[in-house]
């Protein structure tokens, strides 16, 4: 799987949009971008994934650049409960199962 | 759906003892993952299964660790003998998007 680079930490004011960047310059054509987050003392939580088109769900939006070398996870209206470590991962998508390797992620602090 | 269920939630054991961690995946999920998390090493993938078959166990740290998935609804991770450096939170996840359980916090004294 391609390696990802994320800033170690970010701050965001409550109610504002949180934009979390991720670089994956060595991504292959068949690799998807996945985002997870881990709130303290809990298991990681799946957020969203995409291949090349922008994706949106009830939790977040994922913006992938046209060359697919970077992406941004957007939490449109951050709340205090969004404080967590956010992981960006690239992996091959398959129903036969492929490894999901976590890096160090970005620690997001949402402040009042 | 109750999600991925792990047991026990907490385990304290003495060095040298056998430890068995259990996981019940979400019904219908074909993939199952075991992870270990420590402050020093972060989240490490130990092994994953697809359709009850181990696909990649290269993350298993040593022969003291073993994992089984006898059927689609149950998996175990066993450590024998346990050592203090095995102290960590162990997570099980299932499904292609890897839905995680709440983890088992293992302390080996």
**Tens digit of each residue's pLDDT (9 = 90 or more) over A1-58:** 568 999 999 999 999 999 999 999 999 888 999 999 999 889 999 999 999 989 999 9
Interface of A with B (CB under 8 A): 34, 36, 38, 42-46, 49, 87, 93-97, 99-104
CB–CB contact A43 B98 (8 Å): no
pLDDT-derived band at A94, boundaries 50, 70, 90: low
- How confident is the model over A62-79, as pLDDT tens digits? 999 999 999 999 999 999
> Residue A101: its pLDDT value, please?
86
pLDDT exceeds 80 at position A85: yes
Cβ contacts of residue B20 below 8 Å, gap of 6+? B76, B77, B78
d(CA B23, CA B27): 12
Q: How far from A75 is each of A63, A112, B53, B99, CA to CA, in Å? A: 11, 16, 37, 20
Q: What is the pLDDT of residue A100?
A: 85
Nearest CA in chain A to B32: A97
Question: A80 — phi, psi (to 5°)?
Answer: -60, -30
pLDDT value for A95: 63
- Of A94-98, B35-39, B51-55, which gets the smallest average pLDDT? A94-98
pLDDT for B1? 63
Q: Which of A55, A87, A97 to mutate to test the interface with B (most CBs of B within 10 A)?
A: A97
Which residues on chain B are in Cβ contact (under 8 Å) with A35? none
Facing A42 at nearest CB: one of B55, B96, B102 = B102
pLDDT of residue B15: 97
DSSP A82: G
Over residues B60-104, the pLDDT tens digits come to 988 999 999 999 999 999 999 999 999 999 999 999 889 999 999
């Amino acid at each position: 799987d391609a390696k990802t680079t994320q800033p170690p930490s970010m701050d965001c004011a409550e109610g504002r949009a949180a934009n979390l960047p991720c670089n994956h310059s060595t991504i292959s054509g068949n690799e998807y971008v996945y985002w997870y987050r881990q709130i303290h003392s809990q298991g990681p939580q799946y957020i969203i994934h995409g291949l090349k088109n922008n994706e949106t769900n009830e939790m977040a939006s994922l913006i992938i650049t046209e060359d697919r070398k970077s992406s941004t996870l957007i939490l449109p209206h951050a709340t205090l409960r969004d404080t967590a470590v956010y992981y960006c991962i690239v992996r091959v998508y398959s129903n036969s199962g492929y490894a999901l390797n976590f890096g160090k992620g970005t620690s997001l602090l949402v402040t009042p | 759906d109750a999600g991925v269920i792990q047991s026990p939630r907490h385990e304290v054991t003495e060095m040298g003892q056998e430890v068995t961690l259990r996981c019940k995946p979400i019904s219908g999920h074909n993939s199952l993952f075991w992870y270990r998390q420590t402050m020093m090493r972060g989240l490490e993938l130990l092994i994953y299964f697809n359709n009850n078959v181990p696909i990649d166990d290269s993350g298993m740290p040593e022969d003291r660790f073993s994992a089984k998935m006898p059927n689609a609804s149950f998996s175990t991770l066993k450590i024998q003998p346990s050592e203090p450096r095995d102290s960590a939170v162990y997570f099980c996840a299932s499904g292609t998007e890897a839905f995680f359980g709440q983890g088992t916090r293992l302390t080996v004294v």
